[in-house]
């Protein structure tokens, strides 16, 4: 071998496709990345500016103040909270901590685009279980897919990109069916947007099941997507293993202080979430009133199962002034943004059906 060679299996990794940005100079609403459309609160901006004076120093490696604040806000042991650069990075640390090469990870599909990438990078084998036509996870089939080689099962609730949340009764039955030595990761990146009274309570599920780990983030409801702060909630023994697999000094000083300020301003931020949920309701009602079949979304986006027409629909949206996220061959995910963006989206959707 005469030169360095990249791992062969990386050639088979699916590329992560970020949500498209608006063209430079173009007037378009970006509804492609499930971002919070509101800018940070003034108190959060002030915290970032104050923290900027210390960027010549390494951040607190274990984000001690932040993990204590998260623990207090959720009513969990701070020793069980592990932070990272977004929940997707924390997921990678979880898989690294629990999977040996060749172990299996059961994943719903279509679900979060990063799952197959994170599983492969951990050296594990992904076992995909199709999501139902209604966009809901098929937990019965996922439980049936568990084998002796399974180490982790990923449950995305609400599911990205289709929208529905897992219900409490079906999750309870699922956990009874899954062996206790299999780690069940509840990815709750959009939990603050859930309004379904029958949806599973992640914290209660975690409290009752030692093999459950929660993933959450400050990117969506808290509007800190650009600073990358996510976290896992696990039993302290499991959290210690996840922490060992984490990138040292991963979460910046700016990000830690912005997250702390966001927790302090939680009531104001959740009022914004209520406004996004109201706009989601308007978008869903508008689409269904036109004749679209749309899954019940409990997140900050909606799903249009357009199949092979996904890319064409996204192109029409872009020409009209809204950038959405196509998944070629499957559908289009539309983030909930400004009311003006919803108006444009509904115009394009109505014209599509004519």
Condensed to tens digits (0 to 9), the pLDDT of residues 125-160 reads 999 999 999 999 999 999 999 999 999 999 999 999
Higher-scoring residue by pLDDT: 11, 328:
328
Q: Are strands 322-323 and 29-30 parallel, antiparallel or unpaired?
A: parallel
**Mean pLDDT lowest for which of 13-22, 23-32, 314-323, 339-348?**
13-22
What residues contact residue 268 under an 8 Å CB cut-off, 6+ apart?
Answer: 41
Query: Which domains are delineated in the chain?
Result: 8-30+267-353 (3.90.1150.10), 42-265 (3.40.640.10)
- Average pLDDT of the segment spanning 26-50: 92
> What pLDDT does residue 15 have?
72
- Judged against a pLDDT cut of 50, whether residue 208 lies above it is answered with yes
Helix (H, G, I), strand (E, B) or coil at 60: coil
- Judged against a pLDDT cut of 70, whether residue 20 lies above it is answered with no
Helix (H) or strand (E) holding 303, with range, is strand 301-304
> Residue 12: pLDDT band by 50, 70, 90 thresholds?
confident
Q: How far apart are CA 238 and CA 244, in angstroms?
A: 10
> What pLDDT does residue 257 have?
98
- Judged against a pLDDT cut of 60, whether residue 24 lies above it is answered with no
In this structure, are residues 219 and 86 in contact, taking their beta carbons and an 8 Å threshold? yes
271-324 per-position pLDDT tens digit = 999 999 999 999 999 999 999 999 999 999 999 999 999 999 999 999 999 999
Helix (H, G, I), strand (E, B) or coil at 232: strand
Closest CA to 317 of 345, 280, 289: 345
Tell me what the pLDDT averaged over the chain comes to: 95
- Judged against a pLDDT cut of 70, whether residue 22 lies above it is answered with no
- Judged against a pLDDT cut of 90, whether residue 5 lies above it is answered with no
- Average pLDDT of the segment spanning 210-220: 97
State yes or no: cis peptide before 91, omega within 30 of 0. no
50-100 per-position pLDDT tens digit = 999 999 999 999 999 999 999 999 999 999 999 999 999 999 999 999 999
> What pLDDT does residue 217 have?
98
In the chain, the percentage of residues whose pLDDT exceeds 70 is 97
In the chain, the percentage of residues whose pLDDT exceeds 90 is 92
> What pLDDT does residue 256 have?
98
Q: How far apart are CA 186 and CA 112, in angstroms?
A: 12
């Amino acid at each position: 071998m005469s030169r360095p060679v990249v791992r062969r299996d990386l050639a088979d990794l699916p590329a992560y496709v970020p949500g498209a940005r608006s063209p430079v100079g173009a007037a378009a609403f970006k509804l492609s990345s499930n971002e919070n459309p509101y800018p940070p609160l003034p108190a959060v901006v002030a915290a970032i500016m104050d923290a900027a004076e210390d960027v010549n120093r390494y951040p607190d490696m274990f984000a001690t103040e932040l993990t204590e604040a998260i623990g207090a806000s959720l009513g969990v042991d701070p020793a069980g909270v592990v932070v990272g650069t977004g929940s997707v990075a924390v997921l990678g640390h979880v898989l690294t901590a629990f999977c040996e090469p060749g172990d299996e990870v059961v994943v719903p599909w279509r679900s979060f685009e990063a799952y197959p990438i994170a599983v492969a990078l951990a050296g594990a084998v992904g076992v995909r279980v199709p999501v139902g036509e209604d966009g809901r996870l098929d937990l019965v089939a996922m439980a049936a897919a568990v084998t002796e080689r399974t180490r982790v099962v990923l449950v995305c609730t609400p599911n990205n990109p289709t929208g529905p949340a897992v219900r409490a009764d079906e999750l309870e039955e699922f956990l009874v069916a899954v062996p206790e030595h299999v780690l069940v990761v509840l990815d709750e990146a959009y939990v603050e947007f859930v309004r379904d009274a029958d949806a599973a309570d992640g914290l209660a599920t975690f409290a009752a099941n030692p093999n459950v780990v929660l993933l959450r983030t400050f990117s969506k409801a808290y509007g800190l997507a650009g600073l990358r702060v996510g976290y896992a909630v696990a039993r302290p023994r499991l959290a210690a293993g996840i922490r060992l697999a984490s990138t040292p000094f991963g979460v910046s000083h700016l990000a830690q202080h912005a997250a702390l300020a966001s927790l302090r301003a939680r009531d104001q931020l959740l009022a914004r979430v209520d406004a996004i949920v109201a706009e989601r309701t308007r978008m869903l009602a508008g689409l269904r009133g036109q004749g679209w079949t749309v899954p019940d979304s409990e997140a900050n986006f909606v799903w249009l199962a357009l199949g092979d027409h996904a890319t064409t629909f996204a192109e029409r949206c872009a020409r009209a002034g809204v950038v959405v996220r196509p998944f070629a061959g499957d559908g289009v995910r539309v983030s909930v943004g400004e009311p003006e963006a919803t108006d444009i989206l509904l115009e394009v959707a109505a014209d599509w059906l004519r």
